[in-house]
């Protein structure tokens, strides 16, 4: 079955051209006959002209990759002369005001490798309808502002597919001749088509229940492949925690009788919030200590929370159109981050969120695919599930939280949910509800939705000892982005503290204000240039700026190294302690790069060693924070910080030398920490245990990097003896990174031990693909030939090709361009299988202009070669043409 390909140039869809639907659908009755070669879908819709539209005219239905068998209106076949059918739609002319529409289609889920619509994942039928998958199941007005009540009947072979699921409540079941059976589901909540779901397979079920605040009993079922029942405990516990959290944090109760979650192997994303029937990538749900790391446990909790929170932010209140995607995603990511911060540690969570924003979103915002949080045009909406819509979108919500304060923010979200329950709305309605509840004016703030680009804020400090005042002069600049030349100044919350010489926080008050108690002041920058003067300042303070990263900006202040060490040791804002440490490390890395490029010896200055040494010797007591502080910024983040041209070799060598030198200078401290934080007793995923393992394994990694014999022996030993995956990988990773003797054998035995656990095999692939030693081009090719690799499984593609492009810039950007040519072949190959995955890979080339002229030429050549492909998907076409600019 061929995809719809760009025989003509694909045309963009524009927000400015939005019009309400001509017809609405009140009910949808679906009848599926699932078969081994094809599946038939009969849909009966109650359609009525939209009263909001004067002249409804023709009925337009989306549809692709299907065979149309029958169309009937009010029980009579609709004459072919009165409809138009093409590759992407079916249009009916002259339909009545309201009527029953019946459509029968035939589809081939077995051949669907794009993983949109109905497809098969290792023997299980499942669906993915967001954003535009439903139109691959039946002809339908497949847009989020058409909300209907669904009833679904599934008929299938009883032995192969004993479990038949859809949204809502099970209202009937029975057996049929020929070994077939049927189940019927009814979803009482009106929903857009993108939240429809169906699953049919032979699955095991793990059940529990949750009682809501008002006493509703919700049955909880998690479905997995037989044999995986022992890997759902953590997800189930996380789900109940998320349900309880949403009640207290947002006053949101679950509205369902049954909440079902299904794990599937082949999935383009992490998970999907289908109403009452979430579908999860196995990697985002299955965990037990032997096979999953602490990071996996935390990720699973976050994603389970994320999908659950969508039940209100996304499902009860949904989107008018796809330009509003961040309305649900930004808000839900923010809710997920708050949840995770409450469950573990708020500052550590913040550090991880910011790290993700900086490594994924900042580069996007600074490149050819930059777009606003609310984009105003797209060629393929699947390309807009981006760090900007998700992560920057969450930052936009967080800034409103910072501006309003917790109480008014909550009043605002209460009003938003109450006012728009059951509606399909825009980001405007969200901002309006917050304004109405808080009586704040967010008009200038709305620019965060429409202006792309990461603002740069330059700050200078000025102390006047005579007057006892301290002034911060700020200047904001928003860089040019594609299609956006001129930018207006933004409304930016900047949390500031001032430290006295002993490291104590002052209680800063602006000139003219009365005494204050708080040591953090939320400044509101609104002008292109603006100054803030604080009074009653007895001595020149050290400012702590942008506390807890109160806005997604790049802030510059001329700190001396000593100031950074001082902040690292003293700031009450734990995020900014980490930030000061990162800036010190960044400076050391950039000095090392300069040295490397001029052929000089790379030296490590005392300030960084002393500051990190003090941390390791227990200044803070917060193990997780110490581990975060000592974690090096990764190579791709350093590339983003580097002035043109990015030099992947200098980055790699400088980063490595700094690691080795730190390891040697602080060897005793690392050894002490490694020994002091050994495991005792059974595995637990509580914050204290996670922090302990983190610091232990970080210490081990440094010991190995420093070439310390005792450390290397400890790693080998830990690799063999570990009883959980965190410790096993905590040993294997540094062994691979430093290629210590015995690593090859360790990799082999690792595979032998875990070859039946798909999630673990993915880790095994990714460790090698992202290693400069084990991820050379020849070895990457060998990994693709490995029997466990499969181009049709997105997790495998991410583990090898994704990890290579993103996690191994040193090899990916090999100066001779051989990796580029190989990678372009892979993009083209993937494009014939799964356009979404191909487009994601193609982004590996999108920042080619950041590199030297020769690499630019080589990458451009590959981009042009991909673009010339006549059958290219819309997904890949958009990324490639935008990259070429
Ligand atoms: N809406 C999903 C989420 O963020 C992500 C997703 C998008 C999944 C598109 C599949 C397809 O929770
Ligand atoms: Zn989401």
Question: How far apart are the CA of 37 and the centre of ligand 1, in A?
Answer: 28
Buried b (16+ CB within 10 A) or exposed e, 597-616: eeeeebebeebbbebbbebb
Pick the residue whose CA is nearest to atom 8 on ligand 1: 272
Query: What integer pLDDT is reported at residue 147 of this predicted model?
Result: 98
CA distance 732 to 697: 10
Two tokens at 421?
């329950």
CA–CA gap between residue 318 and residue 325 (Å, rounded): 9
- Encode pLDDT of 568-579 as tens digits: 999 999 999 999
- For residue 307, the CA-to-ligand 2 centroid distance in Å is 6
Nearest-atom number in ligand 1 for the CA of 273 is: 12
* For residue 766, pLDDT beyond 90: yes
Task: Give me the mean pLDDT over the 27-54 stretch.
Answer: 96
| Gap from CA of 398 to ligand 1 centroid (Å) | 21
Question: Could you tell me if the ipTM is greater than 0.95?
Answer: yes
pLDDT at 1 over 60: no
What distance in Å separates the CA atoms of residue 457 and residue 475, rounded to the nearest whole number? Answer: 6
130 lines ligand 1 (CB under 6 A): yes
User: Higher confidence at residue 7 or residue 173?
Assistant: 173
Query: Considering the chain, what percentage of its residues have pLDDT values greater than 70?
Result: 99
Q: How far is the CA of 230 from the centre of ligand 2 (A)?
A: 26
Task: Please tell me the distance from the alpha carbon of residue 529 to that of residue 471, in angstroms, as a whole number.
Answer: 13
65, 265, 301, 307: the catalytic one is 307
Closest CA to 561 of 596, 585, 527, 530: 585
Select from 193, 273, 388 the residue to mutate for testing ligand 1; criterion: most ligand atoms less than 8 Å from CB. Answer: 273
Q: Decide the pairing of beta strands 98-107 and 89-92.
A: unpaired
Which distant-in-sequence residues (6+ apart) come within 8 Å of 225 by Cβ?
Answer: 122, 124, 203, 204, 263, 265
Asked if 156 and 164 touch (Cβ cutoff 8 Å), the reply is yes
Residues 214, 94: Cα–Cα separation, whole Å: 49
Contacts of 84 (CB under 8 A, 6+ apart): 90, 91, 93
Give the DSSP H or E segment for 48: strand 39-49
Please compute the mean of the pLDDT values over residues 131-137 and round it to a whole number: 98
771: helix, coil or strand?
Answer: coil
**DSSP string spanning 795-861?**
HHHIIIIIHHHHH-HHHHT-TTSHHHHHHHHHHHHHHTT-HHHHHHHHGGGTTGGGB-HHHHHHHHH
- Ligand positioned closest to the Cα atom of 313: 2
Q: Could you tell me the pTM of the whole model?
A: 0.98
> What pLDDT does residue 2 have?
42
Ligand 1 close to Cβ of residue 271 (< 6 A): yes
**How far apart are alpha carbons 79 and 297 in whole angstroms?**
56
Region 29-55: what's the mean pLDDT? 96
CB-ligand 1 contact for 272 (6 Å cutoff): yes
| Per-residue DSSP letter, 242 | H
Strands 258-264 vs 277-281: parallel, antiparallel or unpaired: parallel
CB distance 583 to 564 below 8 Å: yes
- What value does the mean pLDDT take over residues 310-335? 98
Q: Whose CA is nearest to atom 2 of ligand 1?
A: 272
Q: Considering only CA atoms, which residue is closest to atom 11 of ligand 1?
A: 130
Which residues, in sequence order, are bridge partners of residue 84?
91
Instruction: Specify which residues 201 forms β-bridges with.
Output: 163
On whether the CB atoms of residues 46 and 67 are closer than 8 A, the answer is: no
Residues surrounding ion ligand 2 at CB below 5 Å: 329, 332
| Residue 728, token pair as written in the block | 């096993």
Residue 335 Cα to ligand 2 midpoint, Å, equals: 10
Average pLDDT of the residues in 828-847: 98
Taking the C-alpha atoms of residue 694 and residue 104, their distance in angstroms, rounded to an integer, is: 56
Q: For residue 289, is pLDDT > 70?
A: yes
Residue 52 φ/ψ, nearest 5 degrees: -75, -10
Q: Tens digit of pLDDT for each residue in 408-461?
A: 999 999 999 999 999 999 999 999 999 999 999 999 999 999 999 999 999 999
Q: Say yes or no: CB of residue 132 within 6 Å of ligand 1.
A: no
Cis amide linkage into residue 650, ω under 30° from 0: no
Q: Please tell me the predicted confidence (pLDDT) of residue 54.
A: 82
Residue 340 vs residues 166, 246, 356, 759: alpha-carbon distances, Å:
29, 12, 15, 23
Would you state the pLDDT for residue 53?
84
Asked if the model's pLDDT at residue 666 lies above 50, the reply is yes
For residue 622, report the phi and psi dihedrals to the nearest 5 degrees. Answer: -95, 100
On the question of pLDDT at 6 being above 60, the answer is no
Question: pLDDT-derived band of residue 55, with 50, 70 and 90 as boundaries?
Answer: confident
Q: How confident is the model at residue 619 (pLDDT cuts 50, 70, 90)?
A: low
269 CB near ligand 1 (under 6 Å): yes
pLDDT at 4 over 60: no
Q: What band does 52 get if pLDDT is binned at 50, 70 and 90?
A: confident
* Mean pLDDT value of segment 397-406: 98
State in Å: Cα 326 to ligand 2 middle: 9
Q: Nearest 5°: phi and psi at 789? A: -85, 145
Cβ–Cβ contacts within 10 Å for residue 631, how many? 17
Looking at ligand 1, which residue's alpha carbon is closest to its atom 1? Answer: 272
Mean pLDDT of 131-147: 98
Of 295-299, 425-429, 508-512, 803-807, the poorest mean pLDDT is in: 508-512
Q: Is 307 a catalytic residue?
A: yes
Closest Cα to atom 9 of ligand 1: 130
Q: Which letter, b or e, does each residue of 481-494 get, where b requires 16 or more Cβ atoms within 10 Å of its Cβ?
A: beebeebebbbbbb
Residue whose CB lies within 8 A of the most ligand 1 atoms, among 142, 383, 385, for a mutation test: 385
Measured in Å, residue 699 CA sits from the centre of ligand 2 at: 35
Q: Are 783 and 765 in contact (CB under 8 A)?
A: yes
pLDDT over 90 at 173, yes or no: yes
> Which residue did the predictor score with more confidence, 866 or 1?
866
Residue 520, Cβ density class (10 Å: 0-12 exposed, 13-18 middle, ≥19 buried): middle
- On the 0-12 / 13-18 / 19+ scale of CB atoms within 10 A, 547 is buried
Helical axes 606-616 vs 574-597, angle rounded to 10°: 140
Q: Can you list the positions of beta strands (E) in 447-575?
A: 456-464, 469-477, 492-499, 509-510, 521-525, 529-535, 542-545, 554-557
pLDDT computed for residue 438 by the predictor: 98
């Amino acid at each position: 079955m061929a995809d719809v390909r760009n025989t003509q140039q694909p045309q963009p869809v524009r927000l400015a051209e939005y019009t309400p639907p001509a017809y609405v659908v009140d009910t949808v009755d679906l009848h599926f006959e699932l078969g081994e070669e094809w599946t038939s879908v009969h849909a009966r819709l109650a359609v009525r002209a939209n009263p909001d539209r004067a002249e409804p005219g023709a009925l337009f239905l989306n549809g692709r990759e299907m065979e149309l068998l029958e169309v009937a209106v009010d029980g009579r076949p609709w004459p072919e002369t009165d409809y138009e059918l093409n590759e992407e739609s079916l249009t009916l002319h002259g339909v009545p005001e309201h009527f029953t529409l019946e459509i029968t289609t035939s589809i081939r889920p077995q051949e669907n490798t794009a993983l949109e619509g109905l497809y098969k994942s290792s023997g299980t039928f499942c669906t993915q309808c967001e954003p535009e998958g439903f139109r691959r199941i039946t002809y339908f007005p497949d847009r989020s502002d058409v909300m209907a009540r669904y009833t679904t009947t599934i008929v299938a072979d009883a032995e192969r597919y004993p479990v038949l699921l859809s949204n809502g409540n099970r209202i009937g079941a029975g057996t049929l001749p020929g070994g077939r059976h049927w189940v019927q589901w009814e979803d009482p909540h009106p929903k857009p088509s993108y939240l429809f779901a169906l699953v049919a397979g032979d699955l095991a079920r793990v059940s529990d229940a949750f009682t809501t605040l008002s006493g509703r009993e919700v049955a909880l079922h998690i479905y997995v492949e037989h044999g995986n029942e022992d890997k759902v405990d953590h997800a189930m516990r996380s789900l109940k925690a998320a349900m309880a959290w949403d009640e207290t944090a947002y006053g949101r109760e679950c509205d369902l009788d049954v909440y079902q979650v299904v794990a599937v192997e082949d999935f383009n994303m992490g998970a999907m919030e289908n109403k009452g029937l979430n579908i999860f990538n196995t990697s985002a749900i299955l965990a037990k200590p032997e096979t999953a790391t602490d990071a996996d446990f935390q990720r699973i909790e976050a994603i389970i929370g994320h999908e659950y929170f969508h039940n209100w932010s996304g499902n009860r209140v949904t989107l008018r159109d796809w330009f509003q995607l961040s309305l649900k995603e930004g808000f839900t990511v923010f809710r997920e981050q708050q949840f995770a911060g409450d469950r573990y540690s708020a500052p550590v969570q913040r550090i991880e969120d910011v790290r993700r924003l900086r490594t994924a979103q900042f580069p996007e915002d600074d490149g050819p695919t930059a777009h606003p949080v609310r984009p105003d045009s797209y060629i393929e909406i699947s390309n807009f599930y981006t760090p900007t819509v998700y992560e920057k979108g969450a930052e936009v919500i967080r800034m409103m939280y910072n501006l309003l304060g917790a109480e008014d923010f909550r009043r605002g979200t209460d009003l938003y949910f109450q006012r728009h329950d059951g509606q399909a709305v825009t980001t405007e309605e969200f901002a309006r509800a917050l304004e109405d509840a808080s009586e704040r004016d967010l008009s200038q703030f709305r620019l965060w939705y429409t202006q792309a680009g990461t603002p740069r804020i330059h700050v200078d400090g000025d102390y006047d000892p005579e007057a006892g005042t301290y002034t911060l002069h700020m200047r904001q600049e928003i860089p040019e982005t594609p299609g956006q030349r001129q930018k207006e100044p933004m409304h930016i919350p900047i949390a500031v503290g001032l430290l006295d010489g002993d490291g104590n926080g002052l209680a800063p008050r602006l000139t003219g204000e009365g005494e204050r108690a708080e040591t953090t002041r939320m400044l509101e920058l609104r002008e292109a240039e603006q100054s803030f003067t604080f009074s009653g300042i007895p001595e020149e303070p050290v400012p702590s700026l942008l506390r807890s990263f109160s806005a997604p900006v790049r802030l510059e202040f001329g700190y001396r190294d000593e100031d950074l060490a001082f902040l690292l040791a003293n700031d009450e804002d734990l995020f900014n302690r980490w930030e000061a440490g990162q800036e010190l490390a960044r400076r050391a890395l950039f000095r090392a790069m300069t040295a490397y490029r001029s052929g000089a010896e790379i030296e490590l200055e005392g300030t960084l060693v002393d500051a990190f040494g003090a941390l390791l010797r227990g200044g803070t007591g917060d193990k997780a924070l110490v581990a975060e502080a000592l974690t090096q910024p990764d190579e791709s983040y350093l590339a983003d910080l580097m002035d043109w041209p990015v030099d992947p070799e200098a980055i790699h060598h400088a980063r490595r030398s700094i690691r080795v030198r730190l390891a040697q200078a602080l060897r005793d401290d690392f050894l002490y920490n490694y020994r002091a934080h050994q495991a005792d007793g059974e595995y637990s995923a509580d914050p204290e245990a996670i922090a302990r393992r983190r610091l232990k394994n970080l210490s081990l990694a440094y010991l190995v990097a420093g070439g310390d014999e005792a450390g290397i022996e400890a790693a080998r030993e830990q690799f063999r003896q570990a009883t959980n995956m965190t410790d096993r990988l905590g040993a294997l990773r540094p062994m691979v990174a430093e290629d210590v003797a015995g690593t090859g054998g360790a990799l082999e035995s690792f595979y032998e031990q875990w070859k039946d656990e798909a999630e673990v095999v993915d880790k095994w692939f990714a460790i090698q693909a992202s290693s400069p030693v084990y991820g050379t081009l020849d070895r990457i090719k060998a990994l693709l030939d490995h029997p466990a690799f499969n181009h049709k499984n997105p997790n495998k593609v991410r583990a090898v090709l994704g990890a290579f492009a993103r996690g191994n810039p040193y090899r990916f950007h090999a100066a001779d361009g051989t990796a580029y040519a190989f990678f372009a072949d892979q993009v083209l190959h993937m494009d014939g299988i799964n356009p979404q995955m191909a487009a994601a890979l193609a982004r590996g080339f999108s920042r080619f202009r950041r590199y030297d002229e020769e690499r630019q030429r080589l990458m451009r050549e590959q981009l042009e070669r991909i673009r010339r492909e006549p059958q290219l998907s819309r997904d890949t076409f958009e990324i490639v043409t935008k990259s070429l600019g």
